[in-house]
Amino acid sequence: MASKNVEKSEKDWEKLLTKEQYHVLREKGTEPPFRGKYWNHEEEGVYYCSGCGNPLFKSDTKFKSGTGWPSFYEPIHSNSVKEIEDRSHGMIRTEIVCGKCGGHLGHMFKDGPKPTGCRYCINSISLDFK
Ligand code: FE
């Protein structure tokens, strides 16, 4: 299934997003733990990209990681998100961005639960639950 990529200028994003969303999605910021609206959220549904509406994660792949950020063991589709090597802050990490708009979502670590062993550690502000 081909999905069209969302391409906007940084000026467009500035108008579209709140200041806090812009900081995380476009400037790769991180929200403080235990403060976002979804780290402790347990309703059934789908989490979408708050920048472009791309479906990203299902609630049944969400788990309690204890980190203070919403955590999932796998994305809805393999192309829902993209992985990028992140060498910032003296670490080598896997950055996770939206597969459609490229907005920063969080990072993926290999210490998650079965069946994937992955932990997608995502900023609440990058998500919209429905
Ligand atoms: Fe997006």
Digit-coded pLDDT (tens) for 42-69: 999 999 999 999 999 999 999 999 999 9
Interval between CA 6 and ligand 1 midpoint (Å): 8
Mean pLDDT of 104-111: 98
Q: Does 30 or 3 have the greater pLDDT score? A: 30
Residue 2 has pLDDT above 90, yes or no: no
pLDDT digit string, tens, across residues 81-101: 999 999 999 999 999 999 999
Q: What confidence tier does 3 reach under pLDDT thresholds 50, 70, 90?
A: low
- Smallest CA-to-CA distance from 111 within 77, 65, 75 is with 65
Interval between CA 103 and ligand 1 midpoint (Å): 5
pTM above 0.85, yes or no: yes
86 vs 92: CA distance, rounded Å: 6
Overall fold of domain 32-129: 2.170.150
pLDDT at 1: 44
Residue 7 has pLDDT above 90, yes or no: no
β-strand partners of 58: 46
Residue numbers annotated as active site: 121
Interval between CA 117 and ligand 1 midpoint (Å): 24
